[in-house]
């Protein structure tokens, strides 16, 4: 089944404790991105990757890191999480075909930083 | 930066009533996409519009892209409880693949 998976789905952590949220897709998509979703603020892009070893900042990259060593994986790293990073995080991947660029979203990771 | 304004923020309807959400941009858009997010779920792609004045239908859903490619709408005819969720528009304004997202319209349907 074509899908984007994220782990963990839920995480409660404390300020300053490094964490990684994994994202994996099995559709051979070259484009992947991370979003955070907060009430009243919609979806905001954190980082994106056009392909392996190619990453770039989105709209709200501060406090986050990413890597793209393999096409299927795009982990999101919070080196020193803070309470303002409490949010719902979505990973997405997409493939441009026939002019249509469809984004497939993972199920989301709900992060709470105390 | 570039923005896409989406209205209304919330809409509450009786089952069977129609519903419309609108997205507006001050700049010309390359294309616009629509997504639906059910409560507790993730956004799911519905459709992409590319051509000026384009109209596409998916059963009870009608999507339009304005003639000037600066606005778009999603209309649902005779809403059902399964239509509950938040509808987002997301637009491409340039040659890159970065999407500019509207803030979404949350639809509640009374049975």
- CA-based nearest residue in chain A for residue B43: A105
Question: Percent of chain B beyond pLDDT 70?
Answer: 96
- Measured between beta carbons, the chain B residues lying within 8 angstroms of A31 are 97
Give residue A64's pLDDT.
98
Please give the Cα distance from A33 to B23 (Å, whole number): 23
What own/partner pairs with CB < 8 Å and gap ≥ 24 does B38-43 have? B38/B84, B38/B85, B39/B84, B39/B85, B41/A107, B41/A108, B41/B85, B42/A90, B42/A105, B42/A106, B42/A107, B42/A108, B43/A43, B43/A90, B43/A92, B43/A103, B43/A105, B43/B88
Q: Do B44 and A105 make contact, defined as CB atoms within 8 angstroms? A: yes
In this structure, are residues A35 and A90 in contact, taking their beta carbons and an 8 Å threshold? yes
Query: Residue B83 — left, alpha, or beta (φ > 0 → left; ψ -120 to 50 → alpha)?
Result: alpha
- What average pLDDT does chain A have? 95
Give residue B25's pLDDT.
95
Please give the Cα distance from B63 to B81 (Å, whole number): 20
Cβ of residue B98 closer than 8 Å to a chain A Cβ: yes
Give residue B95's pLDDT.
65
- What average pLDDT does chain B have? 94
Q: Do A90 and B42 make contact, defined as CB atoms within 8 angstroms? A: yes
CB-neighbour burial class of residue B56 (10 A; exposed 0-12, middle 13-18, buried 19+): middle
Q: What is the pLDDT of residues A18-65, one digit of tens each?
A: 999 999 999 999 999 999 999 989 999 999 999 999 999 999 999 999
Q: Do A42 and B45 make contact, defined as CB atoms within 8 angstroms? A: no
- Measured between beta carbons, the chain A residues lying within 8 angstroms of B50 are 99
For an interface test with A, which of B37, B41, B42 has the most A Cβ atoms less than 10 Å from its Cβ?
Answer: B42
Q: What is the pLDDT of residues B55-105, one digit of tens each?
A: 999 999 999 999 999 999 999 999 999 999 999 999 987 767 788 999 999
Which of A45, A50, A107 lies at the smallest CB-CB distance from B42? Answer: A107
Give residue A101's pLDDT.
84
Query: What would the DSSP string read from start to end of A40-88?
Result: TTEEEEEEEEEETTEEEE-S--TT-EE--SSSSB--EEESS--GGG-EE
Which of B42, B92, B103 lies at the smallest CB-CB distance from A105? Answer: B42
- Measured between beta carbons, the chain A residues lying within 8 angstroms of B30 are none
pLDDT band at B1 (very low <50, low <70, confident <90, very high): low
Give residue A36's pLDDT.
97
- How close does chain B come to A89, measured CA to CA in Å? 10
């Amino acid at each position: 089944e074509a899908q984007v998976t994220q782990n963990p789905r839920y995480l409660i952590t404390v300020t300053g404790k490094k964490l990684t949220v994994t994202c994996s897709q099995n559709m051979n998509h070259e484009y992947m991105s991370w979003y955070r979703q907060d009430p009243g603020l919609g979806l905001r892009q954190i980082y994106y990757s056009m392909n392996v070893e190619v990453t770039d900042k989105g709209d709200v990259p501060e406090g986050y890191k990413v890597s793209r060593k393999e096409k299927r994986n795009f982990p999101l790293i919070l080196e020193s999480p803070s309470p303002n990073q409490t949010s719902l995080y979505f990973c997405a991947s997409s493939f441009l075909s026939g002019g249509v660029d469809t984004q497939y979203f993972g199920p989301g990771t709900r992060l709470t930083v105390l | 930066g570039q923005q896409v304004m989406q209205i209304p923020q919330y809409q509450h309807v009786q089952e069977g009533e129609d519903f419309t959400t609108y997205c507006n941009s001050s700049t010309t858009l390359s294309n616009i996409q629509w997504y639906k997010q059910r409560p507790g779920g993730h956004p799911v792609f519905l459709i992409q519009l590319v051509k000026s004045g384009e109209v596409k239908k998916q059963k009870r859903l009608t999507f339009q892209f304005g003639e000037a490619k600066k606005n778009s709408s999603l209309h649902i005819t005779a809403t059902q409880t399964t239509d509950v969720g938040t509808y987002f528009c997301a637009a491409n304004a340039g040659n890159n693949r970065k999407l500019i997202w509207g803030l979404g319209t949350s639809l509640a349907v009374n049975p």
